[in-house]
Amino acid sequence: MTTHLYCVLPHEMRGSLPAGLSGLAGERVRALLVDGLVAWVSDVKRAIPVSVEGVRAHDAVVEAALETGTTPVPARFGQRFESDDACRDALRNRASLVESLLADVHGSIEMTLIITPSTRRMIRELEPVLPEMFDSETERPGRRYLDSLRRREATTGAIKSAMDELVRALSRAAGPLLRRTTVLYQVSRLPLRTISHLIARDQVTDYKAAIAGVESGAELRFLVIGPRAPYSFSSLTDSGGRHGMNLAD
C-alpha cells in the first residue's frame, strides 16, 4: 500500500477531519501531521487507475475539507508516496511554498465559468469537415470542400472572438469581488473557454448576481460551477494549477 494525498490545511485544523470520511476505493481518510501543516491522506494500492470515479472520490474529500470552514490547498489527483513518512518529507521540503499557498487562498473559494457555443446549428458548423468523395453527381467536389473549410474557419474565428469578449465582460462584472483570475484556452474539437475566479467565501451570492446580468448573446452560453476548492490557484509552480498542488513539480 502507498499513501495518497488529497489536500493540505493549516495545523490548527488537525482535529477537523469528519469521522468516517472515506476516499479512493472506500479507504478511510486520515490526518497526517507535518510540522505547521496537516495533510489528509488515505492508503491506496500502488497503481491508481485514472477514472471518473477516482477523480470524484478525490474531489469529495477535498470538498469535505472546504466544508470545515477553512480553505484547503488541493493536491493533484494521483499523487502517492511510498509511505506516510515519504509524504511528510515531500511536504517538509515544500513547506514554505505550501504555507504561502494556504495564505493566498485563505477565506476564499473558486467559482468556475465554462463558455461554449449555445446552439446545435452553431456546433454543427464547427464540426470537422470531411472531404467529399468524387461521384458523377457532384461537380467540383474539391472546390466545395475548400469552401466548407473556409466557412468553418470563419465561424470558428468569430466564435473565439465572441468568447474572448464574454470572458472580459464576465470579469468586468465581477471585478470588485475578484481576488485572482485565470483563463484556460482549451484545445478541443470545439472552441471552449474556462474562467476561474477566486473570491471570498461570503461573496458567492453577490458574485452570482453580478454575472447573472451579463448577456452572453445568441451564439454562446456559460455554465457556473461552484463554490469549490481552489484547484486553479493551488499549483506550486503557478503554471496552470487546475490540477491542484503537485509536489513533484
147-161 pLDDT, tens per residue? 555 555 555 667 788
CA-CA distances (angstroms) from residue 139 to 143, 144, 146? 9, 8, 13
Ranges of each domain in the chain: 2-106, 109-233
Q: Across the strands, what pairs with 81?
A: 3
**Angstrom distance (rounded) from CA 84 to CA 108:** 29
| Helix, strand, coil percentages, rounded to 5, for the chain | 40, 25, 35
- Cβ contact 214:197 at 8 Å: no
Closest CA to 221 of 192, 199, 181: 192
Question: Which of residues 238 and 80 earns the better pLDDT score?
Answer: 80
Phi, psi of 113 (to 5 degrees): -120, 125
Length of the chain counted residue by residue = 249
pLDDT, residue 245, reads 65
pLDDT, residue 51, reads 85
| 189-193, 203-207, 213-217: the lowest-pLDDT one | 189-193
Mean pLDDT, residues 244-249 taken together: 59
Evaluate if pTM is beyond 0.85: no
User: Taking 80 as the threshold, does the pLDDT of residue 32 lie above it?
Assistant: yes
8-17 pLDDT, tens per residue? 999 899 888 9
- CATH for 109-233 is 3.30.70
Q: Sign of the C-alpha dihedral, residues 61, 177, 116, 218?
A: positive
pLDDT, residue 80, reads 87
Mean pLDDT, residues 113-118 taken together: 87
- Cβ contact 41:3 at 8 Å: yes
